[in-house]
Structure formats: structure tokens, C-alpha cells
Amino acid sequence: MNPGTSGGGLTEDAVKACGNCGAQASGTYCSACGQETDVRLPTLRQFMRDATGSLVALDGRLWRTLRVLLTRPGFLTQEYFRGRRRYYVRPARLYLATSLILFAVLRFTTEPIRFDERTAKVDDKAGTAVAAATNPPSVSVAESEISFGGDVKIGIDRNLNFVVKGSPNVVTNQLRVRLDHFNQLAPHEKGKQLSSGLLQYGPYAMFVLLPVFAWLQQLSYLGRLRPYPGRPKRYVEHLVYATHLHSVMFLAAIVALLSPWLWPRWVILAWLVVYVLRSKHAIYGGSRLGGLARTLFVVMAYTFFMACALLVLIFPAILLA
């Protein structure tokens, strides 16, 4: 009798050698390494579904996650803490998807930075205003400077030229060429290059700022854990909350950018303020007044770090474009 067709036995095709590790595997996945046993080439539809699904989980989990995230502030974070994670998109994946979509929308909806339309009032009493010259008087002294230690300083003059001071050995020839190339551009071209660079490297900056936000969140609640045993204690818990909150802010920004009217943007901003306060109260508890004070502290400190990140992004926007 053929063993592959014996009553109740496995068919010949039921047990296969795993294409990855070579172990004998029955069923859909290999029990040794976890790879699927069906390694036939996918159809175009399957290929696209796998490609997009690995990023944003284009199935019921995505819509369930978005519905819970947007309508029940703090609930998705609580579900993650409780270990109920199978039916929702993981925080890091959700953050990555929403941030990529946001910066893609920004590329199509924002205009380049414009430096050639500055205006200056000459005589307020006479009520006359003269448009600032597109080629303002050049000055040799930088208007603002950033010191990198020692004698090395990088500044910006009134012509929006980058001026490097210090030892010539510090600045390489390639760096000097890039700086000279940027300084020779017209004002509107400088704006285009800066805008393109900021949008290109912005996602990296936001990814770096996310742990900073979680740290500020943890810092704002130091010393108040004992009266609230359910309050997040470990840094990673604050990081999960920060990830979900940033995802909401990214989604709100996407809708606001795509809106052709101004009034929906104010509605979205008001909704976002209420959402932040409600989600914070759901996760951290305590009085609402104390939560508001801590929120203001985090917002002001986070705004400072974002301004620093924006300033730092100017350099790769110029030098790596």
C-alpha cells in the first residue's frame, strides 16, 4: 500500500522540506523557522498586497486601529499595555506609515521657502512701505553664528550666504564647493533647495525627536507614581504613548493640509487639543489641571527641541542636496 495514501495518513504533498531551513514541515508554516511552506511565485495582486500590508497592515487591523485611535483617546495605548495586540497595528509600524504619508503630502501641498519677498517699512508715519530689495546690501559679517568649538563658526549673512570662520583646514574642499554653490544661487533657488532638503530629512528628525518626547513625558511625571499605581513607570511605556499620540497628530495634519478651506483646520486644531488632554488623562490619571500643566511643560520643551532640530536640518539641506 502506498504510505502516502493510507487511510488517515498524510498525503505525499502534506509533508515538505522547508525551503529556508530544510526541516520537514507540514501545514502552512514551518515549525522550525516559521517560513511559509508554499513558496510559489505570487500573483501581481498578492505581491502588491504583501508589499503594502507589511507596512500598514491593509486588512481589518488597520481600520480597527484607526477607528479606535481617533475615537477613543488613550484606549489603544491601554490595549497595548494590557497585552491585547493581535487585532491592532503595532505602534512603531503605525507611526512609520503615518509619518511617511504626512511628508509625502507635504511635498505636494507646501510651497518652497521664499526669501525674495521680504518687505521693510521705511516711514511708518508717512504710511509708506517699500518692498525690500531682492538683492539687499551685502555684509561681510555674519548676522547669526553657530560655534562648533574652538575657532570654528558657521554664520548666515543678510544675503543668506553661509560664512565659515575658523581654520581653513577644518573645511574640506568638497564642503567648500557645496557652500560656494549654495551661496551663488538666486534667493528663490535657495528657498527651493532648503525646502527640498527639509522635507527629505524631516522624517529622520521626527524619528529622533520621538524618544525625546517620551523622555519629556516621563520627566513631567517624576515623583508622582505612588498615588497612581496604574500610571506608566518605565520609559518604554511613555514611548508607546508618544508613538500613538504622534500618529494622531500626523493624521490630523494630513487632513488639515488636504483641506481647501481654513475653518476645518481650526476645527481640527481644537479637536486635537481636546484629544491630547483626554488621552493624557486616560493614561496617566490625576487631576485635569495637573495634566494641563504637565502638557504645557512638554509642549514648550518639545517646541524648543523641534526648533533646534530644524536649525540642524538646514545644514544637510544645503550640503547634501
pLDDT at 4: 46
What are the angstrom distances between the C-alpha of 315 and each of 178, 202, 217, 320? 11, 12, 29, 8
Q: Which residues contact 286 (CB under 8 A, 6 or more apart)?
A: 224, 228, 231
- Determine the pLDDT at residue 299: 93
pLDDT, position 50: 66
**Gyration radius from the chain CA atoms:** 27
CA distance 287 to 120: 48
CB neighbourhood size of 239 (10 A): 20
> What pLDDT is attached to residue 172?
61
CA dist 184 and 162 (Å) reads: 10
Query: Taking the complete model, does pTM exceed 0.95, yes or no?
Result: no
| pLDDT score at 173 | 67
Mean pLDDT per 10-residue interval, the chain, length 321 residues: 46 66 80 78 70 57 89 94 88 90 88 56 37 36 48 62 61 69 76 80 88 93 70 90 95 92 93 94 87 91 90 75 58
C-alpha cell at position 64: 480597527
CA 56-57-58 angle, to 5 degrees, is 100
Question: What is the Cα–Cα distance from 249 to 70, expressed in whole angstroms?
Answer: 10
d(CA 111, CA 122): 28
2 vs 25, 131, 176, 293, CA distance in Å? 20, 93, 78, 77
DSSP H or E stretch at residue 165? strand 162-165
| Residue 309: strand, helix, or coil | helix
Give 5's DSSP letter.
G
